[in-house]
Amino acid sequence: MLRADQTIMITSGADIARDSGRSDWIIGTDDQILVTGANGFIGSKVFETLLEYGFTRIRCFVRSNRNLSKLKQIAERLKAEVDFIEGNLLSRDDCLRAARDVSLIYHLAAGTGKSFAHCFMNSAVATRNLLDATLKETKLRRFLSVSSLAVYSGFQIRHGDLINETCPIESEHMARFDPYCYGKVKQDEMVMAYSREHGVPYVIIRPGPVYGPGKKALTGRVGLDTFGIFLHLGGSNRLPLIFVDNCAEAIVLSGIVEGMDGEVFIAVDDDLPTSREFLRLYKKNVGHFPSIYLPYPIFYFLNWLWEKYSNWSEGQLPPVFNRRSCATYYQKQIYSNRKLKELTGWSPRVPFKEASRLYFEFMKDGRRER
Amino acid sequence: MRGSEIVGVCDQEELMAGQLAERYGIKHHFSDVEVFLKSSQPDVVHITTPPQSHYSLAKQCLEAGCNIYVEKPFTLSYEEAKELICIAEREDKKLTVGHETQFMPVARDMRRLINAGYLGGAPVHMESIYGYEFSEEQFAKAVLGDRRHWVRRLPGGLLQNIISHGIGKIAEYLQDDKVTVLARGFTSHFLENIEETDIIDELRVIISDSHRTSAYFTFSSQISPSLHQFRVYGPKNSLIADHEHQTLIKVPKKSYVSFLNQFIPPFADAKQYFSNGCRNIKRFLRNDFHADSGMYFLINSFYKSQTDNAPLPIPYREILLTARIMDAIFFQLNELGNKNYTN
């Protein structure tokens, strides 16, 4: 659901960026841009933001031509030359078609789900195919790869530490048992390898959990409803959220601002609530549901027990709950967006108060419909 | 699996083979099956590729001197299945198909009772219900999200990739191979509404053999909750296996006087469900209730057929009969299509 007030906010953000930063951009507004995963939750907003920034030649790569009406309407409204390509990044031919003559690639398509092979294939293999396709393209100025905060290993970071782009990346994937994290780590490695070996100019951006109208679930960093009742696990942790419009703008700027090649950015909003505050607001604005708060040490201990049992039983219960995952998502840590702000000039245009209002309204409408 | 070692993994996409080898600490990975067979010389090859390549890969592996475990569906046609079995017999090698649901604890209990004569004779009728959820399964999302997905390119489409699980259960208990098959398939409203009219996701089949044992097979993406049941009706008693909940309910021929016939059986059924629940908990506590325990049992039995000369877990007759029934279903669906149903 697109609201008029959202559009106005983006436009004003874009205007500021356009006025201030045009000379710093690595491409012109009439250069060809490719957006993969363009009809996804973040992809559609990136597409919209690019149009608002004045870019006129955008190629949207989508898995299926379904649900394109929203993108087409936006393109029509802004009179942009938009090229929709239906395909699969696992097909090298599709990748060649997609990458033809592009100056900038926003690679948002990703593998999600519970299977390691699936996540790896749709993240790392798909990215490799796209990177291969770009090797023959002489105009490519940057490959912007969207990663995730999930790649960091909270297990190797102390309680209360500040997490920035230099923090350790997860390496024990079978212990962490997080296929999405595995896929994203391998995707990042692939991008960096192509830069080293073939000189592909890249930027990697790692947004926190993205929320906003269109996102149908509460982020798992607040808690889990796996066991029938909602377990609130985040407590007083500052949630590393980013509103979808802010995220889209961070992605767009990381792609176009000059001098960013080889950089990795963490993208989170500024005025973030604690998990407890967010849950309280959610219940107040969307609807009440029972929840139990489980302090971090207790949940960590339960994860340890689960992990032990999983090992002992040879996977009768798979190690979906484990200390690594618990430490990454629920240990008190603060994520820094300083580098992103300093280097790209990005700042979150939509403050939390407004962002949460839009999100809660969307969730409330969805709940009413259900 | 104890007593066995994974000597190598192979995938046309080297990155995929590499990630599997990396995650499980397997020493060698390959992207060329010929190189893999020559350098690793495995005793058994597990073929888990899309079904379009099952026949050629299985043939290559058998001829290279390997026993083969082929994921379902075994092949694309009865002819291919027959040829592979001929090659296996000629090469003195063994093969099986990944119909692991037939080896889940509940299916094994059912087989034990039927073999012990619980039905009181050959099955009179069977009902196999296989539910499928588009909304939740990651695989279904992949198929719907990609118009060129390999599942869509199978001659029997989505159905061909799945229904052998349900058809295999029926084939096991049919009395002979002279079967008559009557199939009707159609696209659900759900798929129609999202313009996926080329996928048949609702299937009803009537099967009978020359001994007049009959069966209904139902595949549905729209029945909610999604059911995975197998019912076998005998001349004396019947059995109902619920694969989703791992319960096996006996339906004995027992009648009580007057209203007692309505009072006692419900409690007897409740007692059976309670016992099933307790048995499942016991199995879990004994560490014998893994989600893939059917596959483990099947693979273990297949390996034993090679090391101890034990019988094959799935007789070749059953593999061929399953392929023959599926051929008949897809022939009718492709010939008659949806039109016949709507007319």
User: How does pLDDT run across A296-305, given as a tens digit for each residue?
Assistant: 999 999 999 9
Q: DSSP string spanning B222-259?
A: SSSS--EEEEEE-SS-EEEEETTTTEEEEE-----STT
A contacts of B148 (beta carbons < 8 Å): 88, 91
H or E element that contains A232: strand A230-232
Give me chain A's average pLDDT, please: 91
Confidence at B134, pLDDT banded by 50, 70, 90:
confident
Angle subtended at Cα B20 by Cα B16 and Cα B24, rounded to the nearest 5 degrees: 170
B174 has a pLDDT exceeding 80: yes
Query: Of B316, B330, B332, B304, which is closest to residue B172 (Cα–Cα)?
Result: B316
Query: Alpha-carbon distance A115 to B255, whole Å?
Result: 50
Size of interface A-B (CB pairs under 8 A): 46
What number is the average pLDDT over the span B74-101? Answer: 98
B contacts of A312 (beta carbons < 8 Å): 287
Helix, strand, coil % (nearest 5) of chain B? 45, 15, 35
Confidence at A63, pLDDT banded by 50, 70, 90:
confident
Confidence at B142, pLDDT banded by 50, 70, 90:
confident
Confidence at A29, pLDDT banded by 50, 70, 90:
very high
Strands A230-232 and A223-224, by their bridges, are antiparallel
> What CATH number belongs to B101-305+323-336?
3.30.360.10
Confidence at B338, pLDDT banded by 50, 70, 90:
low
- Give the residue numbers in B contacting A (CB under 8 Å), as ranges: 13, 15-16, 19-20, 23, 138, 142, 144-148, 194-195, 284, 287, 289-290
| Nearest chain B Cα distance for residue A131, angstroms | 14
What number is the average pLDDT over the span A342-358? Answer: 96
A14 has a pLDDT exceeding 70: no
Distances (CA, A) of B53 to B33, B71, B150, B316, B330: 12, 11, 11, 20, 19
Between B195 and A26, the more confident residue is: A26
Least confident range of A149-163, A306-320, B64-78: A149-163
CB contact under 8 A, A66 and B194: yes
Q: A346: how many CB neighbours lie within 10 A of its CB?
A: 22
How many helices and strands, by DSSP H and E, does chain A display? 14, 14
User: Out of B19, B20, B289, whose CB is closest to A316?
Assistant: B289
Identify the pLDDT of residue B294: 95
Query: Of B132, B321, B326, which is closest to residue B222 (Cα–Cα)?
Result: B132
pLDDT digits (tens, 9 = 90+) for A98-117: 999 999 999 998 888 888 99
Give me chain B's average pLDDT, please: 94
What number is the average pLDDT over the span A336-356? Answer: 97
A171 and chain B in contact, CB less than 8 A: no
Q: DSSP string spanning A191-208?
A: HHHHHHHH---EEEEEE-
* Residue in A64, A112, A172, A189 to test binding to B, most B beta-carbons within 10 Å: A64
| Nearest chain A Cα distance for residue B56, angstroms | 22
pLDDT digits (tens, 9 = 90+) for B209-221: 999 999 999 999 9
Distances (CA, A) of B189 to A191, B43, B192, B201: 43, 48, 5, 10
B75 has a pLDDT exceeding 90: yes
A2 has a pLDDT exceeding 50: no
| Nearest chain A Cα distance for residue B264, angstroms | 34
A93 has a pLDDT exceeding 50: yes
Residue of B nearest to A186 (CA): B19
Residue of B nearest to A171 (CA): B23
Contacts of B282 (CB under 8 A, 6+ apart): none
pLDDT digits (tens, 9 = 90+) for A218-271: 999 999 988 889 999 999 999 999 999 999 999 999 999 999 999 999 999 999
What number is the average pLDDT over the span A146-164? Answer: 91
Least confident range of A37-46, A71-80, A141-150, B26-35: A71-80
Strand spans (E) along B157-201:
180-186
* Phi, psi at A170, each rounded to 5°: -60, 135
Structure token pair of residue B30:
């390959």
Helix, strand, coil % (nearest 5) of chain A? 45, 15, 35
CATH number for B9-98 (one of 3.40.50.2300, 3.30.530.20, 2.130.10.10, 3.40.50.720): it is: 3.40.50.720
Task: Give the domains, in start order, of chain A with CATH numbers.
Answer: 4-218+240-270+333-352 (3.40.50.720)
What number is the average pLDDT over the span B295-322? Answer: 97
User: Out of A125, A312, A316, whose CB is closest to B13?
Assistant: A125
CB contact under 8 A, B19 and A120: yes
B182 has a pLDDT exceeding 70: yes
Which parts of B92-137 fold into alpha helices (H)?
Answer: 105-115
pLDDT digits (tens, 9 = 90+) for A273-298: 999 999 999 999 999 999 999 999 99
Confidence at A325, pLDDT banded by 50, 70, 90:
very high
Residue type for position B322: T
Q: A292: how many CB neighbours lie within 10 A of its CB?
A: 11
pLDDT digits (tens, 9 = 90+) for B221-264: 999 999 999 999 999 999 999 999 999 999 999 889 999 999 99
Residue of A nearest to B291 (CA): A316
Structure token pair of residue B10:
């192979």
Domain(s) of CATH 3.30.360.10: residues in chain B: 101-305+323-336
A18 and chain B in contact, CB less than 8 A: no
3-state secondary structure of A264: strand
Residue of A nearest to B145 (CA): A64
What number is the average pLDDT over the span A3-17? Answer: 43
User: Out of A63, A121, A314, whose CB is closest to B16?
Assistant: A121
Query: Alpha-carbon distance B106 to A260, whole Å?
Result: 59
A42 has a pLDDT exceeding 50: yes
A152 has a pLDDT exceeding 60: yes
Confidence at A369, pLDDT banded by 50, 70, 90:
low
Q: What's the predicted TM-score (pTM) here?
A: 0.90
